[in-house]
């Protein structure tokens, strides 16, 4: 009975330790190591955030929240002016003051590009243009009215509206232009670049991919362009697409204050992530992100291969809980989102398993199950390690190598001791080691003692 009671108490202890470890606020940060990796890093962050969000032991804090507010204050102010001008123009139209209403609407048009970074749809912009078209039609300026209607339909080909400015004749004109656009399909080209690359592009509120990107089938007319990347102030403007030639936009993104403070230490931070070691740089990241844990990674691109090194850091315990790496082939991109999510899940689960093993009395729980795995099983590729730090040798092997040749000959019949390979250095699972008083505890971040943070 006492033995059974002891088992129950042990199980409850493990459950409590797991629950104590659970539901930590967790962020994701992936640092590109070369220009080609910027696009992949932006995508991988989203994939890993989805993995964290799905995990029951994590409370996701998205990079859009941890890396600073990306909303330009002047864009919010411009949007407020836009709404105010349109509301005032509508009241003036209702009482027949068409000239004053037109003046207000044209003033609002000047705010279009300023408000673009916060416009998720054509909304107020289309409302402004369609009311301007209505006024011009009532004043007999049909050509100008047609141009304004064309701009509205370029952004939203089914935009709905109502009000005093629109009589039956105007509605017929709108449907005529709408039908003509559908039949003729006048299209133009837009090229969008950004610095840094890998920013998400929205055209008329629709997600259209990452920079650099080319759109060669956009309807001729005005369009709302918005460019976003976590850690950077959003960029936006109104662009005019024509049949004459490609329109090119080069968006220069400015970092938020929060991300700028992290970006200053990217080189040091990247080395610490790759070496899986604790440092003050990692501790500062935790303070900036304001989370208990984070999936931190570095990403490199070589030819058609992308390598992701990933660690899970607990800033409260000041320890690296788990680590793994994987190489993705470009032709995997149809399934790459799922593959990256699996890697993220694997690292999180490995951390949870390690936490349980630390509290377990069963010797079998002190192993990670990968002792007999080869490099291929772990998903490693030695060709990617050429730029990593020099190969290390255990101290015992160094002593053996320094012995005389005569001693070596005497022991030639015994198997040589195994040196650390690149595969060992990038082992996909954390190993639990028996620590002595002269070494940092097994949960410390790498070889660096906790008090050095």
Band (pLDDT 50/70/90 cuts) for residue 355 is low
Instruction: Please write the tens of the pLDDT for every residue from 79-98.
Output: 888 888 888 988 998 888 99
Strands (E), 139-292: 187-195, 200-203, 206-210, 213-219, 221-228, 235-241, 247-252
Average pLDDT of the residues of the chain: 77
Q: Helix, strand or coil for residue 418?
A: coil
Instruction: Please write the tens of the pLDDT for every residue from 231-284.
Output: 999 999 999 998 888 889 999 999 998 888 888 788 888 999 999 988 888 888
> Among 261, 194, 263, 276, which Cα is nearest to 227's?
194
Band (pLDDT 50/70/90 cuts) for residue 308 is very high
pLDDT at 121 over 70: yes
Question: Given this model, what pLDDT does residue 390 score?
Answer: 44
- Over residues 201-228, the mean pLDDT reads 92
Question: Does the domain at residues 187-252 carry the CATH identifier 2.60.40.10?
Answer: yes
Query: How many Å apart are CA 271 and CA 67, to the nearest integer?
Result: 21
Q: Measured in Å, how far apart are the chain's first and last C-alpha atoms?
A: 47
Domains of the chain, by residue range, sit at 23-68+258-383+418-452, 73-184, 187-252
- Over residues 313-317, the mean pLDDT reads 90
Q: What is the percent of the chain with per-residue pLDDT over 70, rounded to a whole number?
A: 72
Question: Given this model, what pLDDT does residue 258 score?
Answer: 87
Q: Helix, strand or coil for residue 359?
A: coil
- Over residues 409-435, the mean pLDDT reads 39
Q: What is the CA radius of gyration of the chain?
A: 30
What's the count of helices (H) and strands (E) in the chain, helices before strands? 17, 12
Q: Which residue has the higher pLDDT, 1 or 292?
A: 292
State both tokens at 117.
């970074």
pLDDT at 358 over 90: no
Is the whole model's pTM more than 0.85, yes or no?
no
pLDDT at 419 over 70: no
Would you mind telling me the total number of residues written for the chain in this entry?
Answer: 453
pLDDT at 378 over 60: no
- Over residues 186-191, the mean pLDDT reads 90
| Long-range contacts of 366-370, Cβ-Cβ distance < 8 Å, separation of 24 or more | 366/432, 367/432, 368/429, 368/430, 368/431, 368/432, 369/429, 370/427, 370/428, 370/429
Instruction: For residue 58, count other CB atoms closer than 10 A to its CB.
Output: 23
Band (pLDDT 50/70/90 cuts) for residue 195 is very high
**Highest mean predicted confidence (pLDDT) among 217-221, 384-388, 405-409:** 217-221
DSSP label at residue 427:
-
Q: What is the CATH number of domain 73-184?
A: 1.25.40
pLDDT at 375 over 80: no
List helix spans (H) across 203-265.
257-263
Question: Given this model, what pLDDT does residue 332 score?
Answer: 56
Cα angle for residues 258, 55, 447 (degrees, 5° grid): 60
Instruction: Please write the tens of the pLDDT for every residue from 129-177.
Output: 999 999 999 999 999 999 999 999 999 988 988 888 898 999 999 999 9
Question: Given this model, what pLDDT does residue 31 score?
Answer: 93
Given phi > 0 = left and psi -120 to 50 = alpha, else beta, which region is 348?
alpha
Question: Given this model, what pLDDT does residue 250 score?
Answer: 95
pLDDT at 363 over 80: no
CATH superfamily of 23-68+258-383+418-452: TolB, N-terminal domain (3.40.50.10070)
Question: Given this model, what pLDDT does residue 317 score?
Answer: 87
State both tokens at 61.
């804090």
For 50, the enclosing helix (H) or strand (E) is: helix 38-54
């Amino acid at each position: 009975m006492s033995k059974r009671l002891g088992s129950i108490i042990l199980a409850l202890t493990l459950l409590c330790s797991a629950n104590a470890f659970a539901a930590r606020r967790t962020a994701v940060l992936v640092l590109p190591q070369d220009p080609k990796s910027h696009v992949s890093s932006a995508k991988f962050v989203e994939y890993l955030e989805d993995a964290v969000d799905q995990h029951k032991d994590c409370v996701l804090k998205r990079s859009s929240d941890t890396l600073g507010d990306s909303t330009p204050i002047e864009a919010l102010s411009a949007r407020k002016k836009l709404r105010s001008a349109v509301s005032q123009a509508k009241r003036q139209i209702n009482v027949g003051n068409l000239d004053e209403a037109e003046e207000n609407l044209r003033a609002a048009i000047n705010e279009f590009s300023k408000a673009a970074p916060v416009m998720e749809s054509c909304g107020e912009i289309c409302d402004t243009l369609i009311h301007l078209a209505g006024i011009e039609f009532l004043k007999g300026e049909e050509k100008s009215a047609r141009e304004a209607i064309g701009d509205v339909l370029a952004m939203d080909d089914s935009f709905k509206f109502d009000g005093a400015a629109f009589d039956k004749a105007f509605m017929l004109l709108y449907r005529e232009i709408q039908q003509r656009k559908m039949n003729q399909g006048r299209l133009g080209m837009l090229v969008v670049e950004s610095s840094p690359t890998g920013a998400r592009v929205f055209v008329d509120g629709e997600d259209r991919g990452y920079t650099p990107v080319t759109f060669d089938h956009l309807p001729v007319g005005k369009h709302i362009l918005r460019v976003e990347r976590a850690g950077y102030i959003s960029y936006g403007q109104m662009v005019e697409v024509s049949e004459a030639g490609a329109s090119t936009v080069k968006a220069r993104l400015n970092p938020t204050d929060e991300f700028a403070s992290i970006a200053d230490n990217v080189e040091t931070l990247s080395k610490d992530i790759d070496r899986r070691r604790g440092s003050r740089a990692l501790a500062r990241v935790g303070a900036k992100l304001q989370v208990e844990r984070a999936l931190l990674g570095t990403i490199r691109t070589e030819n058609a291969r992308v390598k992701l090194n990933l660690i899970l850091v607990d800033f409260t315990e000041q320890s690296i809980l788990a680590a793994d790496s994987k190489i993705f082939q470009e032709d995997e991109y149809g399934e790459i989102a799922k593959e990256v999510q699996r890697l993220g899940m694997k690292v999180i689960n490995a951390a949870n398993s390690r936490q349980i093993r630390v509290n377990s009395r069963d010797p079998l729980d002190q192993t990670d199950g990968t002792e007999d795995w080869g490099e291929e099983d772990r998903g490693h590729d030695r060709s990617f390690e050429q730029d990593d730090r020099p190969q290390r040798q255990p101290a015992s092997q160094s002593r053996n190598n320094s012995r005389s040749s005569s001693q070596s000959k005497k022991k030639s019949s015994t198997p040589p001791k195994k040196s650390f390979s690149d595969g060992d250095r990038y082992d996909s699972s954390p190993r639990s080691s028996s620590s002595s008083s002269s070494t940092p505890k097994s949960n410390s971040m790498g070889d660096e003692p906790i008090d050095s943070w």
